[in-house]
Amino acid sequence: MKFILPAIVASIATFASAQQPKPLDAIRIQVEPRVVLHTIADDFIGFGYETSAVAREGFFSAENTHLIQLYRALASSGLVRIGGSIGDHTRYEPDGKPAAHAMPETTVINRAVLTDLGAFLRATGWKAMWTLNLGAGSKDEAAREALAVDAALGDRLHSFEIGNEVDLLKRFDGYASYHTAYLDYKAAVRAALPEAAFSGPDAAGNVEWSLAFAQSESKDMKLLIHHYYRGGAKSPQATIETLLGPHPEWEAKLGRLREASAANGVSFRINEVNSFFGGGKPDVSDTFASALWCLDYMFRVAAHGGVGVNMETDVNQLGFVSHYSPIFRDESGALNPRPEYYGMLAFSLAGKGSLIKLTTSEHALNLTAYATKTSDGPVWVTIVNKDLVRAATIEIPLPDGCTAAEALRLTAPAAQSKTGVTLGGAQVGADGAWSPRDSENISIAGHTASLPVPAASAVLVRLR
């Protein structure tokens, strides 16, 4: 099945094999600010963590000012998803000693670390989606844990999800048996916490489960949620070319999630996503290519009507910090924003307000473009050139009311670079803060802005 994003042309070509860059390809981008396609949710940006992250004392804490600043640099309101595979291997002990473990050992959380998480969320302005243990727990344990999470997080609690990647849990022989267990758990939690909100089904890849869940639970769910990875880290196809190339199967799934969302009146979110599962691929998932992929991916979800993404980060279920982590934590606990974080940061600037109509002239580059506008702000045009060889010249006729244009560039020495990434000529500071250093004025001729976009780079163009 082939889906074409309405009013957004995203031409994708096979990567060129030539060693020398070809002449700049001219691409004309037409923006129509009056034609609104979708509204981008205020909490669109999110992170995803294994529950073991909460068990690490002092990490999610109001005292962790560096992490708080890294969050606030992205958004004043976002969504943290706590769960992952460890969510189905977690036990709550109110006064027990917290213990963070890899699978298949059991992670232990207590009242104190939940209280710290609540303080962290209030300091950031973000909320949390919490996974209850369906894989190795009981409904009564889930109800007790839900009460504790609600007490600690208060108004920072977004919703509960029951189980992680439920379509992969061996205890179920199909959707019907899972749904029966879900209803049983939900009833137990609601008996203890009548106002509890739920999202689901947290499917790994089987979109049919998500569609069935939307039909049966749409009147009693906050979000329809699904996962996405481009592939497995151990696959020989886990390359930069694959990451930046087209993925028509996923485009089809996004289309079906969009249809289910509209038909059942429930918004959908990709609540666990990153490049390659299994911890990511070194020299791929941790390179500048991941920043370009991330920026483009977030806009593609928004273009399909999705209300957010949760980029997986930190320690995975295998016990090491994933190569794909936007925020990398070393053995000493020091935090370092990796290239992918810069893709999220770029989206935080241009991915606000309404997604508006944009069309591009025909071209053969692996290049995508998106346009947004807030009710009282400028028009942003985001151009992501994922072509590893060819540059482009972009021409943008200025919409009515606009007379000037300026640009912030997302760049690195090469797609393979792990360091030297900048947005607006600046890097994220040691304290987690960021502000642009270089704002490039774009030349205007004949009421048309014109600028080059080098291979393997992105640019945010502000029209005002």
- Residue 261 token pair: 């969302």
Which tens digit of pLDDT belongs to each residue from 119-138? 999 999 999 999 999 999 99
- The residue among 350, 384, 402 that closes a domain is 350
Residue 428: name the closest of 352, 350, 344, 351 by CA. 344
Q: Provide CB contacts within 8 A for 205, sequence distance 6+.
A: 167, 227
Which tens digit of pLDDT belongs to each residue from 54-83? 999 999 999 999 999 999 999 999 999 999
List C-alpha distances in Å: 460 to 117, 383, 391: 34, 7, 16
Q: What would the mean pLDDT of 415-423 be, rounded to a whole number?
A: 98
For residue 94, tell me if it sits in a domain.
yes
pLDDT of residue 23: 52
Do 417 and 285 lie in one domain? The reply is: no
For residue 10, tell me if it sits in a domain.
no
Q: Are 199 and 120 a contacting pair, CB within 8 Å? A: no
For residue 291, tell me if it sits in a domain.
yes
Which tens digit of pLDDT belongs to each residue from 154-171? 999 999 999 999 999 999
If one counts every other C-beta atom within 10 angstroms of the C-beta of residue 151, the result is: 14
pLDDT above 90: percentage of residues in the chain: 92
Q: Is the dihedral of CA 423, 408, 285, 341 positive or negative?
A: positive
Q: Could you tell me where the DSSP H helices lie in 328-414?
A: 339-350
Do 230 and 329 lie in one domain? The reply is: yes
Q: Could you tell me where the DSSP H helices lie in 287-331?
A: 288-303
For residue 12, tell me if it sits in a domain.
no
List C-alpha distances in Å: 202 to 95, 268, 292, 375: 30, 11, 26, 33
Distance separating alpha carbons of residues 463 and 331, to the nearest angstrom: 44
For residue 368, tell me if it sits in a domain.
yes
Q: Which secondary structure element, helix H or strand E, spans residue 209, and what is its range?
A: helix 207-217
Report the amino acid identity of residue 308.
G
Asked whether the bond before 98 is cis by omega within 30 degrees of 0, the reply is no
- For residue 109, what is the DSSP state? E
Instruction: Encode 367-387 in three state secondary structure.
Output: EEEEEEECCCCCEEEEEEECC
As for how many domains the chain has, the answer is: 2
For residue 7, tell me if it sits in a domain.
no
Do 286 and 382 lie in one domain? The reply is: no
pTM of the shown model: 0.93
Do 307 and 437 lie in one domain? The reply is: no
Asked whether the bond before 378 is cis by omega within 30 degrees of 0, the reply is no
- For residue 155, what is the DSSP state? G
Do 284 and 255 lie in one domain? The reply is: yes
Q: What would the mean pLDDT of 163-182 be, rounded to a whole number?
A: 97
Do 272 and 129 lie in one domain? The reply is: yes
CATH number at residue 122: 3.20.20.80
Report the amino acid identity of residue 53.
A
For residue 148, tell me if it sits in a domain.
yes
CATH number at residue 369: 2.60.40.1180
Distance separating alpha carbons of residues 310 and 338, to the nearest angstrom: 16
Do 181 and 280 lie in one domain? The reply is: yes
- The residue among 319, 350, 381 that closes a domain is 350
**Which range of residues forms the domain containing residue 378?**
25-39+353-463
Do 248 and 330 lie in one domain? The reply is: yes
Distance separating alpha carbons of residues 55 and 106, to the nearest angstrom: 11
Q: Are 303 and 5 a contacting pair, CB within 8 Å? A: yes
Distance separating alpha carbons of residues 378 and 396, to the nearest angstrom: 14
Do 216 and 343 lie in one domain? The reply is: yes
- The residue among 295, 327, 350 that closes a domain is 350
pLDDT above 60 for 112? yes
For residue 16, tell me if it sits in a domain.
no
Quote the crossing angle between the two packed helices 175-192 and 139-153, to the nearest 10°. 50
Q: What would the mean pLDDT of 139-145 be, rounded to a whole number?
A: 98
pLDDT above 60 for 22? no
Residue 382: name the closest of 281, 461, 310 by CA. 461
Residue 210: name the closest of 195, 193, 192, 228 by CA. 228
Round the average pLDDT of the chain to a whole number and report it: 94
Do 290 and 422 lie in one domain? The reply is: no
Do 425 and 324 lie in one domain? The reply is: no
Do 336 and 439 lie in one domain? The reply is: no
